């Protein structure tokens, strides 16, 4: 009995050596590097408390390197915010995950996002929601986001260059309000614009950062009835400010 066992062990070891020898030498192709970095990021998000598997899987399916400047693409899967030009940033993956989780999105939901940036959060949402509508006030960022959605063949996101503080336009032919979920990715000073609460469905949830630089809190608003909503705090955050009107971008302020 014992002898046979030993023999079995030898055979297994031999097979393993053979497998190791025929295995091709690993290639450090960018895709291979990115997919292992991405898996590490998703595991880090899980360890940091993100539990919703739809959210983790959406993050895993979005190539974040598409949404950040080429010069910084090696940082695509670090859990950090990265500058995207015009004084704006792509949000930190943990914050994107936390906001998406808090939004409790399903594939039945129509979501409005204020602050497209280059489109990362909208792309993550597009993997879970039925449709995403997103508004950006900087024309060059809006154009870049459009390009990104096209390149990644994302068809359930509609973009608009405008002032998101006014909500989604209610003009005939464009009207989409009310929304099941609203996510604001720039911080209002005291509270999110009334117009946004107005465009939320009853029973709907809005996630938005509120406060001045250094003192911002991510908040969850639930619309209980036509004119009442509840508010709760999620966590302290750092976002760029929510600003009115379409930005007047000058040629000196390029996109990185």
Among 73, 91, 230, 251, which one carries the catalytic annotation? 91
Q: Is 73 labeled as catalytic in the residue annotation?
A: no
To ligand SAH, the closest distance from the beta carbon of 239 in angstroms equals 7
Applying CB under 6 A, which residues contact ligand SAH? 88-91, 114-117, 120-121, 135-138, 141, 163-165, 185-186, 240, 242-244
Closest contact distance (angstroms) between CB of 66 and ligand SAH is: 12
Q: 224 or 245: whose CB is closer to ligand SAH?
A: 245
Cβ nearer to ligand SAH, comparing 89 with 110: 89
Q: Per-residue DSSP letters for the chain?
A: -HHHHHHHHHHHHHHHHHHHHHSPPPP--HHHHHHHHHHHHHHHHHHTT---HHHHHHHHHS-GGGGS-GGGGGGTTSSS-EEEETTEEEPPHHHHHHHHHHTT--TT-EEEEE--TTSHHHHHHHTTSSEEEEEES-HHHHHHHHHHHHHTT--SEEEEES-GGG-S--STTT---SEEEEEE-SBBSSS--HHHHHTEEEEEEEEEEESSTT-EEEEEEEEEETTEEEEEEEEEE--PBP--S-----TTS---
For residue 244, the minimal CB distance to ligand SAH (Å) is: 6
Report, in Å, the least distance between residue 65 CB and ligand SAH.
Answer: 13
Residue among 120 and 179 whose Cβ is closer to ligand SAH: 120
Measured from the CB atom, the residue of 193 and 204 that comes closer to ligand SAH is: 193
Q: Which is nearer to ligand SAH, 38 or 138 (CB)?
A: 138
Minimum distance between the CB of residue 63 and ligand SAH, rounded to whole angstroms?
Answer: 14
Active-site positions read 91
């Amino acid at each position: 009995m014992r002898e046979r066992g030993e023999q079995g062990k030898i055979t297994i070891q031999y097979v393993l050596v053979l497998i190791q020898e025929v295995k091709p030498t690993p290639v450090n192709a960018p895709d291979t590097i990115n997919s292992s970095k991405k898996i590490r990021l998703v595991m880090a998000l899980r360890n940091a408390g993100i539990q919703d598997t739809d959210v983790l899987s959406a993050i895993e399916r979005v190539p974040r390197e598409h949404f950040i400047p080429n010069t910084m693409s090696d940082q695509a899967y670090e859990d950090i915010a990265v500058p995207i030009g015009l004084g704006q940033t792509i949000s930190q993956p943990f914050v994107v995950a936390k906001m998406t989780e808090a939004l409790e999105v399903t594939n039945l939901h129509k979501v409005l996002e204020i602050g497209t940036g280059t489109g990362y959060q909208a792309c993550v949402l597009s993997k879970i929601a039925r449709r995403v509508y997103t508004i950006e006030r900087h024309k060059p960022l809006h154009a870049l986001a459009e390009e990104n959605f096209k390149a990644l063949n994302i068809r359930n996101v509609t973009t608009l260059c405008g002032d998101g503080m006014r909500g989604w336009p209610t003009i005939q032919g464009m009207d989409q309000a009310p929304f099941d979920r609203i996510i604001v990715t720039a911080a209002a000073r005291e509270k999110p614009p009334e117009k946004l609460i107005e465009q939320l469905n009853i029973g709907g949830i809005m996630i938005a950062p509120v406060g001045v630089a250094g003192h911002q809190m991510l908040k969850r608003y639930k619309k209980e009835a036509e004119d009442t909503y509840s508010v709760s705090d999620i966590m302290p955050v750092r976002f760029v400010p929510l600003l009115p009107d379409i930005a007047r971008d000058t040629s000196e302020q390029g996109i990185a």
